[in-house]
C-alpha cells in the first residue's frame, strides 16, 4: 500500500439495502381501501338481492311440495286450487295489495299471463277450474309450468 495514494484509504463500496415491500406506497393503500369498499358493497348488494327474493324460493319449494302431493293423491281440483292460492299469496307479497287482492277469474288470469311467455299462458279454462272439485279439461302440466315460470320471472313492484 502506498501512503501517497489517497485512494488506498477508501473503504470498499457497500451495496445499498434492498428496497423493502413494507410500508407500501400511498397508492397501494388507496387501492386496498377501494378494493375493501368494493367487496363490502358487493356483499351488501348480494345479501339484499338474496333476502329480497326469499319469498320466491319459499314459493318454489311450496310448488314442488304441491306437485309431489298431486302425484301421490291425483286430485286435480285440489291441485289447481292450491296452485291458485300459492300464486295469489306470492302476488300479494310482490305487488300492492290493492291491485291484487280483489282479482279473480279472467282478470286474475290476464294479470298472471302478463308475465308469462306465449307458450306457457294459462288457458281460459283456468278461470273457473280453480274453483271446481275436478278439472278434467285443463292441462295440469301447462298450469304447473306456468306457475313455475311466473314465480321465477315475475317483475315485483319496487
Neighbour-count burial for 52-70, b at 16+ CB within 10 Å, e otherwise: eeebbeebbebbeebbeeb
What φ, ψ does residue 137 adopt, rounded to 5°?
-95, 15
> Which pTM was predicted?
0.78
Per-residue pLDDT tens digits for 7-48: 777 888 888 888 888 889 999 999 999 999 999 999 999 999
The domain limits of the chain are 54-153
What is the rounded distance in angstroms from the CA atom of residue 11 to the CA atom of residue 47? 65
Q: What is the pLDDT of residue 158?
A: 58
Lowest-pLDDT range of 11-15, 82-86, 110-114: 11-15
DSSP letter (8 states) at residue 135: -
Amino acid at each position: 500500500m502506498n501512503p501517497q495514494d489517497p485512494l488506498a484509504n477508501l473503504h470498499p463500496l457497500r451495496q445499498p439495502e434492498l428496497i423493502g415491500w413494507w410500508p407500501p406506497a400511498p397508492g397501494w393503500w388507496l387501492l386496498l381501501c377501494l378494493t375493501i369498499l368494493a367487496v363490502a358493497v358487493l356483499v351488501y348488494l348480494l345479501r339484499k338481492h338474496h333476502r329480497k327474493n326469499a319469498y320466491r324460493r319459499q314459493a318454489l319449494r311450496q310448488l314442488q311440495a304441491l306437485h309431489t302431493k298431486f302425484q301421490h293423491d291425483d286430485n286435480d281440483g285440489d291441485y289447481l286450487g292450491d296452485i291458485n292460492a300459492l300464486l295469489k299469496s306470492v302476488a300479494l307479497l310482490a305487488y300492492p295489495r290493492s291491485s291484487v287482492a280483489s282479482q279473480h277469474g279472467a282478470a286474475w288470469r290476464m294479470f298472471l299471463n302478463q308475465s308469462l311467455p306465449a307458450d306457457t299462458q294459462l288457458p281460459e279454462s283456468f278461470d273457473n277450474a280453480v274453483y271446481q272439485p275436478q278439472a278434467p279439461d285443463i292441462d295440469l302440466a301447462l298450469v304447473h309450468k306456468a306457475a313455475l315460470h311466473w314465480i321465477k320471472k315475475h317483475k315485483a313492484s319496487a
